[in-house]
């Protein structure tokens, strides 16, 4: 599974991105990410329009089993089930291993 | 958007309060219920969604009223009510900072610019703290302010951000998004969006300087001071004095803000860089305030406030804002006044040459909803024996 993640906006306004290939992760970390994607029912999520002021805007692209799916959302629009994945990917952007 | 309480009767609150104190039991109940509904409606009134038959309860209920809620680390808004107007401090710093900061912002608008809250009609100031977990942000959702706790979910050595209520100018910034929504309502992309952001930074920093009693020349003009932990090489989130210099850190990266039109960034993210290019009008404001010295909210702030409330439209760009501040300075302080010259100089330093549009008179204010609620006042009055 490959994930491209982009977060922009927010009070700070500084965009962060990361690209993750679960193949290159330790097995437990890869499994944790896959579980987060599954728990979010990621491939069934709908796009949502940006709203409010200073909210983060997220773009998440997941490629798995030859399916590529993109979700664009914001803090208040994203379902709770997606929040752990967004937080995990945000922290991954801080690592030079994944940030692009 | 319609409201559930589409039918209810309105009496002026002083009458309701009188009934609540002196009426019969049944009268008191009715009065209290009306006061409660009025307060609810007031809390939920929306800028462009004044429905409920345009019943205007807010004039009568005007004044400072705040509520701070706790999302308890969830995404649910507004969350659990923690502190309301008149309540004593809690033992939660985030709750008390949100309460005090929204109070200081209300006071700036009210005492200096004679404005009663976000909508100028006493809209209740709602804030929610402890939003989600590890939420490095604060926002205005169109109705209320929301604050995260920063990187509280990480070990201390890995934290970059503290809680977002820690900086009073962030609270002023978010609340000002509400004011802008009710006034110029600047669209949130490209230059109008960056102006929207800059206006929030301007009044946010004025709240901070006023609370510290700082003059323009003694202030550091750092937005979000104290937000970054000691793990980060940075002094805050933005610098209005020297945009692009607030932080430069191996993990966080460097501050992307330009301070001059030559460095304007057209970017495909952040709604065209609304939090980035705001550095340009931010610096113009700083330069004007510095030039005029004294207390920035008294002169520079007044020019910007008049511009926001009387002269900008939803699609105003930087040039239009520069021209509008020039016209505002002329009206407030006179043609060729030091204030007007300072405005011209401030914009020119960031690469915008003010054009004298000769527009001394601001456009007429938007239409007001009717003052008196229709229909039910006489009914309720007679019911209560008035
Ligand atoms: Zn903002």
Q: How would residue B362 be classed by pLDDT, with cut points 50, 70 and 90? A: low
Chain A residues inside the 8 Å CB shell of B173: 11, 54
Q: What is the DSSP string of B97-120?
A: HHHHHHHHHHHIIIIIH---STTS
Residue B44 has pLDDT above 70, yes or no: no
Q: Is B333 on the interface with A (CB under 8 A)?
A: no
Domain boundaries, chain A: 2-93
Per residue in B18-38, pLDDT (tens digit) is 444 444 444 545 454 444 444
- Nearest in space to A11 (alpha carbons), one of B10, B261, B136: B136
Sheet holding A16-21, edge to edge: A16-21, A2-9, A56-64, A67-74
Find the B270 Cα to ligand 1 centroid distance in Å: 11
Min mean pLDDT across B80-89, B170-179, B363-372 is at B363-372
For A76, nearest residue in chain B (alpha carbons): B75
Chain B residues inside the 8 Å CB shell of A8: 269-270
Strands B145-147 and B125-129: parallel
Residue B343 token pair:
């405005």
Q: Do the two domains B8-185 and B191-349 of this chain adopt the same fold?
A: no
The pLDDT of residue A65: 86
Q: Is A4 on the interface with B (CB under 8 A)?
A: no
Per residue in A41-92, pLDDT (tens digit) is 999 998 777 678 999 999 999 999 889 999 999 999 999 999 999 999 999 9
Chain A residues inside the 8 Å CB shell of B271: 9, 50
CB contacts < 8 A, A to B, total: 94
Residue B3 has pLDDT above 60, yes or no: no
Min mean pLDDT across B25-34, B159-168, B228-237, B290-299 is at B25-34
Answer with the residue of higher pLDDT: B15 or A4.
A4
C-alpha A17/C-alpha B46 separation (Å) is 35
* Residues of chain B above pLDDT 90, percent: 76
Answer with the residue of higher pLDDT: B289 or A97.
B289
Domain boundaries, chain B: 8-185, 191-349
Q: Which of A6, A10, A94 sits opposite B137 (nearest CB)?
A: A10
Q: What is the arithmetic mean of pLDDT over B232-245? A: 98
Residue B170 token pair:
């962030």
CATH dotted code for B8-185: 3.10.170.10
The stretches of chain B forming alpha helices (DSSP H) are 13-22, 25-44, 58-61, 93-107, 113, 168-182, 190-212, 270-273, 279-292, 300-306, 318-333, 338-349, 376-383
Residue B102 has pLDDT above 50, yes or no: yes
Per residue in B338-354, pLDDT (tens digit) is 999 999 999 999 999 99
C-alpha B212/C-alpha A48 separation (Å) is 41
Q: Do B74 and A12 touch (CB under 8 A)?
A: no
How far off is chain A from B227, nearest CA to CA, in Å? Answer: 11
Min mean pLDDT across B7-11, B115-119, B164-168, B365-369 is at B7-11
For B252, nearest residue in chain A (alpha carbons): A94
* Per CATH, domain B191-349 is 2.40.420.20: no
The pLDDT of residue B140: 97
Find the A90 Cα to ligand 1 centroid distance in Å: 20
């Amino acid at each position: 599974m490959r994930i491209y993640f982009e977060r922009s906006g927010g009070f700070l306004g500084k965009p962060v991105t990361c690209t993750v290939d679960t193949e290159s992760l330790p097995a437990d970390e890869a499994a944790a990410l896959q579980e987060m994607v599954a728990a979010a029912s990621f491939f069934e999520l709908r796009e949502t329009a940006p709203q409010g002021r200073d909210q983060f805007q997220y773009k998440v692209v997941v490629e798995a089993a030859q399916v590529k799916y993109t979700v664009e959302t914001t803090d208040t629009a994203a379902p709770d089930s997606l929040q752990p994945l967004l937080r995990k990917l945000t922290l991954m952007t801080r690592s030079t291993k994944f940030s692009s | 958007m319609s409201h559930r309480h589409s039918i209810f009767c309105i009496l002026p609150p002083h009458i309701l309060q009188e009934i609540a104190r002196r009426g019969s039991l049944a009268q008191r109940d009715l009065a209290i219920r009306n006061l409660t509904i009025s307060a609810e409606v007031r809390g939920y009134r929306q800028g462009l969604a004044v429905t409920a038959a345009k019943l205007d309860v807010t004039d009568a209920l005007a004044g400072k009223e705040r509520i701070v809620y706790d999302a308890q680390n969830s995404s649910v808004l507004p969350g659990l009510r923690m502190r309301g107007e008149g309540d004593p401090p809690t033992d939660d710093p985030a709750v008390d900072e949100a309460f005090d900061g929204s109070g200081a912002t209300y006071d700036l608008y009210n005492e200096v610019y004679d404005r009663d809250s976000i909508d100028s009609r006493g809209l209740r100031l709602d804030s929610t703290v402890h939003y989600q977990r590890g939420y490095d942000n604060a926002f205005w959702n169109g109705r209320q302010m929301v604050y995260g706790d920063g990187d509280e979910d990480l070990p201390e050595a890995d934290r970059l951000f503290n809680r977002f209520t820690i900086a009073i100018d962030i609270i002023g910034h978010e609340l000002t998004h509400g004011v802008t929504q009710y006034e110029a309502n600047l669209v949130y992309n490209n230059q109008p969006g960056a102006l929207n952001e800059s206006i929030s930074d301007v009044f946010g920093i004025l709240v901070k300087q006023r609370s510290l009693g700082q003059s323009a020349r003694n202030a550091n003009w750092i937005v979000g001071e104290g937000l970054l932990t000691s793990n980060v090489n940075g002094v805050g989130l933005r610098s209005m004095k020297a945009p692009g210099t607030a932080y430069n850190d191996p993990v966080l990266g460097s501050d992307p803000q330009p301070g001059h039109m030559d460095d304007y960034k057209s970017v495909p993210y952040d709604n065209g860089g609304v939090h980035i290019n705001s550095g340009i009008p931010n610096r113009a404001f700083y330069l004007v305030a510095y030039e005029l010295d004294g207390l920035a909210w008294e002169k520079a702030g007044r020019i910007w406030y008049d511009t926001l409330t009387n002269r900008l439209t939803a699609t105003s760009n930087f040039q239009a804002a520069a021209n509008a501040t020039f016209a505002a300075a002329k009206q407030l302080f006179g043609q060729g006044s030091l204030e007007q010259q300072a405005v011209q100089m401030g914009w020119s330093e960031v690469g915008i040459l003010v054009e004298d549009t000769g527009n001394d008179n601001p456009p007429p204010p938007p239409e007001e909803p009717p003052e008196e609620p229709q229909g039910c006042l006489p009914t309720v009055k007679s019911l209560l024996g008035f």
